[in-house]
Chains A and B, each alone.
Chain A
Amino acid sequence: MTDITWKSYAFIRHRVDDWLAEVGRIVMLIGETFRMLGRGMRSLGLIVDQMHAIGVQSLLLVVIVSMFTGAVAAVQAAYQFDNVVPLKFIGSVILRSVIIELGPVLTALIVGGRVGASIAAELGTMRVTEQVDALEAMAINPVRYLVVPRVVAAFIMLPMLTIIANTIAVFGGYVVAVTSVGVSTHTYVAGLREFFLMRDLISGLIKSFFFGGIISWMGCYYGFRTEGGAQGVGVATTRAVVASCVLVLISDYVLANVLFRFIFAT
């Protein structure tokens, strides 16, 4: 082997080792979260606080983004129908694209950016200011006290935010369809009803449930791994957001295959 080939091999091997170690640590955090779930669930106050931080405080952003998502979907659908597809289908196209894909994924990306960053920054600051050590020194398991409430809250709030996002997006689509595309309320609603399938809604909510776990675990993991000072917190925050968004999109593909090819296959 030439020197450059050997160096390339060593570099790739080193990166793969690091990556596998990272995956291992994330799996261990997830395992520890499940181990602490029973005791962590008793701290209802902490879970409610996190539901407020993750869900209620993300609401305005989710409403704005989903309103315009529905509006854009209506404009795009009208443009692509282009006298080929009857406009009575505009409601069903918006509804199905929103509840299967746009609602869960866009909500997860918004919350991933806002909440993932916030969790990583908060836990990262706690790590570098020895607050996490203080918990351990007081015989309080940091995973039970910090991770479980965030993960449980995210598991509950992501599907709820997704339901709200779906509703607002369909309403946004309705406003544009009626005011600028020329579709009547009756036609739009008939389109919604005609092609609505409960399994589409359920599959979107199942996806958002998984996205909640991804976002909160990534925020907690990178927060706990923070080293150094302010710069370390910045690095952890960036990594948490990037990892959340990438994993949301990858798991969206995996879940879409599992749900529509196997579980809800017709």
Chain B
Amino acid sequence: MIQIRGLKKRLGTRNVLDGVDLDIPTGKTVVIMGRSGTGKSVLLKHIIGLMKPDAGSIKVDDTELVGLNERDLNLVRIRFGLLFQGGALFDSMTVGGNVGLPLREHTPMKPAEIEARVRERLEWVGLKDVENVTPASLSGGMRKRVGLARAIAMDPAYILYDEPTTGLDPIMSDVINQLIRSMQTRMGVTGIVVTHDMNSAYHVGDFLAMLHEGKVVFTGTPDEARNTSDPMVRQFIEGSSEGPIKPL
């Protein structure tokens, strides 16, 4: 369970997060949606401790993240997997090197065991015989899948997905959506997906939360989102330029 309370972050002259309150229940996938630049990725980076808030609290299974020292923060981070928007694969390593890196760094596993785990996780995301390929030679969808294989290499309790379908064709977007769902059923992980792709949000989310002007303005199930009368949420999910949310 992740509990976020009163989270605030100011970047430059803008309050990117202005008192975010959000609960992420164990074993469920919560989609954080909102317009580009509303602070969705900033919120994600706070959850894994890559950014420090100006105020507020983030509790992961009753451990308060804010103010934690590096050693304790790393103990929490090991329980997370993070899929970056662009994959963030290390281009100095092969695909196998990327997926195996957290295992080499944090476990006493032998090279043969790491190799087997890498092969297994790559198969889980639908990739075979790519261990010796460099990330530069992969397509966007394959890079995301390798990123996901790396994120699940350590059997995390939580997986954070930053814009998992952005830049992908509709078919590859569906492949990624299916993978997010399969991670939940196969590993029982808690998922947090940041996206503005409503198809993806409906497909993968048990709950949706909408972030607007630094605050969570809606939380509910996908059905509740579809049937809401809140004009702001309706405008966003219908993708309309007319309504209370003004185009930038």
Contact = CB atoms under 8 A, between A and B. Distances in A.
Interface of A: 122, 126, 129-131, 133-134, 136-141
A129 B102 contact: no
Q: Which 7 pairs show the lowest CB-CB distances between chains A and B? A: A139-B74, A134-B88, A130-B88, A139-B77, A137-B82, A138-B102, A130-B84
A133 B84 contact: yes
B74 A134 contact: no
Interface string B61-89: 00000000010011101101010111011
B90 A137 contact: no
Given A131-B88, A131-B90, A137 B101 contact: no
Contact of B101 (A129, A136, A138, A141): A138
Interface of B: 45, 48-50, 70, 73-75, 77-78, 80, 82, 84-86, 88-92, 101-102, 105-106
B22 to A, nearest CB: 20
A18 to B, nearest CB: 16
Nearest to A133: B50
A136 B77 CA distance: 8
B88 A139 contact: no
A63 to B, nearest CB: 27
Nearest to A145: B105
Contact of A137 (B70, B80, B91): B80
Nearest to A49: B92
A138 B88 contact: no
Contact of A138 (B73, B85, B89, B105): B105
Contacts of B78: 139
Nearest to B105: A140
Given A134-B84, A138-B105, 11 more contacts: A131-B89, A133-B84, A134-B82, A134-B88, A134-B89, A134-B90, A137-B82, A138-B106, A139-B73, A139-B74, A139-B78
Contacts of A126: 90
A59 B72 CA distance: 43
Contacts of B90: 126, 131, 134
Nearest to A125: B91
Contacts of B82: 134, 137
5 contacts: A133-B45, A134-B90, A137-B77, A138-B101, A139-B77
A195 B17 CA distance: 70
B86 A130 contact: yes
Contacts of A141: 70
Contacts of A122: 92
Nearest to A141: B70
B70 A133 contact: no
B215 to A, nearest CB: 25
A263 B77 CA distance: 49
A107 B127 CA distance: 47
A133 B88 contact: yes
Contacts of B49: 136
Contacts of B91: 131
Nearest to B102: A138
A136 B75 CA distance: 12
A21 B75 CA distance: 31
A146 B50 CA distance: 17
A252 B123 CA distance: 56
A131 B90 CA distance: 6
Contacts of B86: 129-130
Contacts of B85: 130
Contacts of B70: 141
A200 B88 CA distance: 48
A133 B45 CA distance: 9
